[in-house]
Amino acid sequence: MEQRLANTWRMTVNEKKFIESALVSGLRVDGRNLYDYRKLSINFGKEDGSAEVHLGQTRVMGIATSQLVQPYRDRPNEGTLSIFTEFSPMADPSFEPGRPGEFAVELGRVIDRGLRESRAVDTESLCVLAGKLVWAIRIDLHILDNGGNLVDAANVAALAALSTFRRPECSLGGENGQEVIVHPPEAREPLPLIIHHLPIAVTFAFFSDESTLVVDPTHQEEAVMAGRMTATLNTNGDICAIQKAGGEGVPQSVIMHCLRIAATKAADITVKIRDTVEAYNTERALQKIKRHSAPVALDVSGTVPNVRKNQVKSEDQREVSGSVGTQVEKLKPMNERKNSDQSNDIEETSKFSKKQKESQSKKSTQQASPKGSAEEMKAISPATESAKIASQTHGEKTLKDAVKPKHKRKKKAPSAVDGS
Amino acid sequence: MEYVSPEGLRIDGRRPMEMRKLQAEIGVVAKADGSAVFEMGNTKVIAAVYGPREVQNRSQQLNDQALVRCEYSMANFSTGDRMRKPKGDRRSTEISLVIRQTMEACILTQLMPRSQIDIYVQVLQADGGTRSACINAATLALADAGIPMRDFVTSCSAGYLNSTPLLG
């Protein structure tokens, strides 16, 4: 709409008229219904707190990070949440590098209002030392591709990043209990943020024909539209924020109608976000589960390994981690096996480590660090025959196997001691 | 803290649906084409309009309508504690955008192609509702400048506290 630079893409009159007349008949250029959203997909990155959202052609990446800062004077026991937007010039020819322009600021503030003012994130739990140190959560939103409706996509990216973000655990220590010790993720499991509700932004575009409005406008529709409104609401029916600045004047009844539509859309998107975050969390939890030495499905065929972060119990396991490649089996998470299989695993890996030291070294991308709970690191190189042999001897694992190793432990304890 | 007393009075003695005292004056900035001061209670805002005049940045010129620009800034002394950055921060950028889009919708820009209309709004005393006061002041300043508009654009802020809507 307000593109004032010489190198701006301008829409031809024909295209404009085509879109407008199609809308009068209730048709959208990409075949959607007036109130339909484009396909929304959320992908998570390797690190906690990074998400990439695809809404049709629009792509936005959201990253959440945290830092310990001094709190604001008027809120000494609350953490802070701030949103920064970056309109990358690769997303659209009209985005200029450098300082954020008006739209970048507006987008940031709309999302900020929806998240902060509605108290979606519990900021009081972010306080470490009242009046002195609090966690400041920073969300960076990078626009990668502008296919229209950046606000909604960026909002989903911010929510996805916040839902999967983990902040390091910290405790008070030192002489007078005033020193803050931040525990690294390897020492203590980082904590998720407390999110009360998910405010979803739904954008509407109004056109010169008063009764026409569409949800989730594409880039072309945005160039034609006469006004826009973004309503941020959650599934509880609370309206967190509404932004309608300028453009075509619309009657109040239309606004109320829009809010009703937005409520249904928000419910759909919330479900989608929750499901994707749930799947991510399950996978993350799977990664943390201790591996049994002889897994059910051992990938020795050299297929793509899944890097697992696990805890190292004994020295020789650390050596294993250092020198060996990363091939990890997938196991069903069975917490009961953790403790019973410990010694068995120590013994197994000691066998492997000796063999693997002899064999060629693989690239080791595994991170191993000591941890308090019962978790071990498994690293089995794809080329070792010994691994195959070992796995074949154990075969299928069931709950009963969790009980069995007790005997083995008693027999082989001496050898395990030797190994370590 | 009781924001609305049991008798139905707010802290400053107003009823929930009562606005603050409004005061306005036009023609306060002699050099500008149009100007106005608008006060809503203790919030005081001054607006100055320059235009229609030649576009300063040729690349931004629009051939079929006037270019409307708006700048919102708060004076350092407007709030209780001295403000560090009166303009250029994100809040000011957003409010400038909002005021510009609002006024652009009501100015008959088609009548003044290839020209520029500048609206400068400065907050002198901030006591809540600065955004609304700025839009009201801008309307008056534009009228004082003789710029053709569809209608007056007025604005008022409202809040919701303890299930009671409060005005102004």
Tell me whether residues B102 and A246 touch, CB distance under 8 A: yes
- Above 0.85 for ipTM, yes or no? no
pLDDT band at A398; cut points 50, 70, 90: low
Residues 6+ apart with CB under 8 A from A249: A227, B105
All residues of chain B having their beta carbon less than 8 Å from the beta carbon of residue A105 are 90, 93-94, 97
Q: What is the pLDDT of residues A40-69, one digit of tens each?
A: 999 998 888 999 999 999 999 999 999 999
| Number of residues written out for chain B | 168
* Residue of B60, B65, B93, B104 to mutate, testing the A interface (most A Cβ within 10 Å of its Cβ): B93
Residues A236, A131: Cα–Cα separation, whole Å: 33
- Which residue did the predictor score with more confidence, B16 or A356? B16
pLDDT at A396 (0 to 100): 63
Which of B91, B93, B103 is facing A102, going by the closest CB pair? Answer: B93
How close, in Å, is residue A227 to chain B by CA atoms? 10
How close, in Å, is residue A64 to chain B by CA atoms? 20
Nearest Cα residue to A334 out of A392, A299, A295:
A295
How close, in Å, is residue B122 to chain A by CA atoms? 19
Residues A284, A193: Cα–Cα separation, whole Å: 16
Residues B96, B107: Cα–Cα separation, whole Å: 16
pTM of the model: 0.72
With beta carbons less than 8 A apart as the criterion, state whether A61 and A54 touch.
no
Kindly tell me if the per-residue pLDDT of A260 is higher than 70: yes
All residues of chain B having their beta carbon less than 8 Å from the beta carbon of residue A249 are 105
Tell me whether residues B94 and A106 touch, CB distance under 8 A: yes
All residues of chain B having their beta carbon less than 8 Å from the beta carbon of residue A108 are 90
How close, in Å, is residue B15 to chain A by CA atoms? 25
pLDDT at B31 (0 to 100): 94
A-to-B residue pairs, Cβ atoms closer than 8 angstroms: 38
All residues of chain B having their beta carbon less than 8 Å from the beta carbon of residue A6 are 59
Residues of B with CB under 8 A from a CB of A: 59-60, 62, 67, 90-91, 93-94, 96-98, 100-105
Q: What is the pLDDT of residues A178-200, one digit of tens each?
A: 777 888 878 888 889 999 999 99
All residues of chain A having their beta carbon less than 8 Å from the beta carbon of residue B93 are 102, 105-106
pLDDT band at B21; cut points 50, 70, 90: very high
Which tokens sit at A315? 């020295």
Residues B71, B80: Cα–Cα separation, whole Å: 22
Which of B60, B62, B97 is facing A102, going by the closest CB pair? Answer: B97
Which tokens sit at A193? 């943020």
Kindly tell me if the per-residue pLDDT of A165 is higher than 90: yes
Q: How confident is the model over A303-328, as a mean pLDDT?
A: 43
Q: What is the pLDDT of residues A82-108, one digit of tens each?
A: 999 989 888 888 888 877 788 888 999
pLDDT at A384 (0 to 100): 42
Which of B59, B60, B90 is facing A105, going by the closest CB pair? Answer: B90
Q: What is the pLDDT of residues A335-353, one digit of tens each?
A: 444 444 444 444 444 444 4
Residues 6+ apart with CB under 8 A from A371: A186, A187, A311, A312
